[in-house]
Structure 1
Amino acid sequence: MADSISNANRSAARPTGTDDLAAESRRRIDDIVAQVDAEMDRRARDAARARHWGWLPTIIQGWIIGERVPPYRFPGDTTPGHRLPPLGVPLEQAFAAHVAYTRREIGRTRELSDEVRVLREKNDRLERQNERLEGRNDRLEAQVETLRLQVSQLMTQHGQIVDVMQEHDVRITENRTDITETQAMVQASDAMLNAWAAQFIEEPPQEDGPEFEAEDLEEGDFDEDLNEDPEEDDDDGDAASDISHVSMDSD
């Protein structure tokens, strides 16, 4: 206990110059650590950049071999054969321009790809609509063909009906002609019949003959006409029978 108190008293009695040296040392150490950290960060970025572009030489070498690109013609080169002309600019600048141009072309290609995709979708929709319209057209063609067959059948039936009507018209005309002829024949028969009947209906003129009394008729005591021709009675009977036949024919 007494030793601890004595050590504390000695520490309190030391000068402040030691503390200043310790603080300066700590500041120097912090600066060195910061410089080391910055250098490590720079090296890490360089390493990352080197790793990012590490594929470039291999890819370009592959392109050169695959595309058979001729070597660059440097000043004083006398080897025969085709050579690329000098660019007049550093290779890094030329490659950066190539990368920028390629990036822009890739962007344009992507835009064109999007437009092509939109056009392809529209084309697909139009193809589906075209397929639906083709199916509808096929159905309409089938309906039109069915209607055409029905119209053909109706035209055939109409022709048959026209033929039948013409036959009926011919028959009606013939019947009318027959009726007219029959009516003319009937009228002629009626005229002949009337003329013939008129001969028998007319009363013959009174001739002077023997007079007799009604009492004689009542008694039935009269003599037959001696001048009467018996054949005339037969003619009267035949005429009556002919009249009956004519009337039946006219009916």
Structure 2
Amino acid sequence: MADNNRDAGRNPGKRPAIDDLTEDSRRRIDSIVAQVDAEMERRTQMLAQERYWGWLPSLLLRWIETERVPTLRYRGDTSEGPRLPALGMPMERAFAAHVAVTRREFRRSAELSDEVRVLREKNDRLERRSDRLEEEKDRLEETVETLRLQVAQLMSQHGQIVDVVQEHDGRITENRTDIVETQAMVQASDAMLNAWAAQFIEEPPAEDDEPQFEA
């Protein structure tokens, strides 16, 4: 490209080499470049996938060694000890089934975890509500105890008032009795006075039927 530009600078009347390409040639070049890019992308993805799954065999081997998984029983094996039963299917298929089941159980566990979280939140709300109700209960008990003391004081005051009223009623009854006796004595005195006064009243002289004249 630089040489073409230099050539164009030296010979202004000469066109660059790329301008000499036909439209068909340009399309062919673009197609080749696109194919190369696609192949490079595919190889990059394959390498990434191989690197992604490259850890799996070593991980499985570490699990087998850690968990002490027994080996498969093969023909002619006479050694003692536990052996894994024959699956009757390729190990890859069995492992794929194990992965599928594990994935489903993991999703189910996640769903259960969500349900447990919801239940815990509800339980927390109920506990907070229970605490508030307990506080209200304590306040009500204090209020009831205060009212009981006030009622006891009022009952004591009521008893005192009843005693005073009864005492006043007794005095009023005594006063009424005294008044009745006094009225009886006054009436008796009036009768005696009337009788005593009647003794001193002189009767007027009797008048004759005919008038009397002096001689």
Q: If the length of structure 1 is used for normalisation, what is the TM-score?
A: 0.57
Percent identical among aligned pairs is: 67
Q: What is the letter of the counterpart of residue 200 of structure 2?
A: I
Q: Give the length in aligned residue pairs.
A: 172
Say if 1:106 and 1:202 are closer, same or farther in 2 by CA, change over 3 A.
same
Supply the distance in 2 between the matched residues of 1:68 and 1:107 (Cα, whole angstroms): 28
Once the two structures are superposed, what CA deviation does each residue of 1:26-46 show, in whole Å capped at 9, x if it has no partner? Answer: xxxx7xx96xx95x7676555
Supply the distance in 2 between the matched residues of 1:183 and 1:69 (Cα, whole angstroms): 126
Say if 1:198 and 1:65 are closer, same or farther in 2 by CA, change over 3 A.
farther
* SS in structure 1 at match of 2:151: helix
**More off after superposition, 124-133 vs 167-176:** 124-133
Supply the distance in 2 between the matched residues of 1:162 and 1:153 (Cα, whole angstroms): 14
Q: What is the letter of the counterpart of residue 200 of structure 1?
A: Q
Q: What are structure 2's unaligned runs of at least 5 residues?
A: 1-31, 206-215
Residue pairs, 1:1-251, within 5 angstroms: 38=39, 44-195=44-195, 197-198=196-197, 200-203=199-202
Supply the distance in 1 between the matched residues of 2:151 and 2:103 (Cα, whole angstroms): 69
* SS in structure 2 at match of 1:70: coil
**More off after superposition, 153-162 vs 48-57:** 48-57
Supply the distance in 1 between the matched residues of 2:197 and 2:65 (Cα, whole angstroms): 144
Supply the distance in 2 between the matched residues of 1:89 and 1:125 (Cα, whole angstroms): 52
Q: If the length of structure 2 is used for normalisation, what is the TM-score?
A: 0.65
* SS in structure 1 at match of 2:87: coil
Say if 1:148 and 1:66 are closer, same or farther in 2 by CA, change over 3 A.
farther
Supply the distance in 1 between the matched residues of 2:68 and 2:148 (Cα, whole angstroms): 71
Aligned Cα root-mean-square deviation (Å): 3.2
Once the two structures are superposed, what CA deviation does each residue of 1:128-177 show, in whole Å capped at 9, x if it has no partner? Answer: 33333333333333223222222221122112111211111122122212
Supply the distance in 2 between the matched residues of 1:66 and 1:178 (Cα, whole angstroms): 117
Q: What are structure 1's unaligned runs of at least 5 residues?
A: 1-29, 207-251
Structure label with greater radius of gyration? 1
* SS in structure 2 at match of 1:88: coil
Higher relative contact order (CA 8 A, sep 6+): 1
Say if 1:192 and 1:66 are closer, same or farther in 2 by CA, change over 3 A.
farther
Say if 1:57 and 1:150 are closer, same or farther in 2 by CA, change over 3 A.
same
Displacement over 4 Å in runs of 4+: 40-46
Q: How far 1:93 sits from its partner (Å)?
A: 0.7
Supply the distance in 1 between the matched residues of 2:101 and 2:170 (Cα, whole angstroms): 97
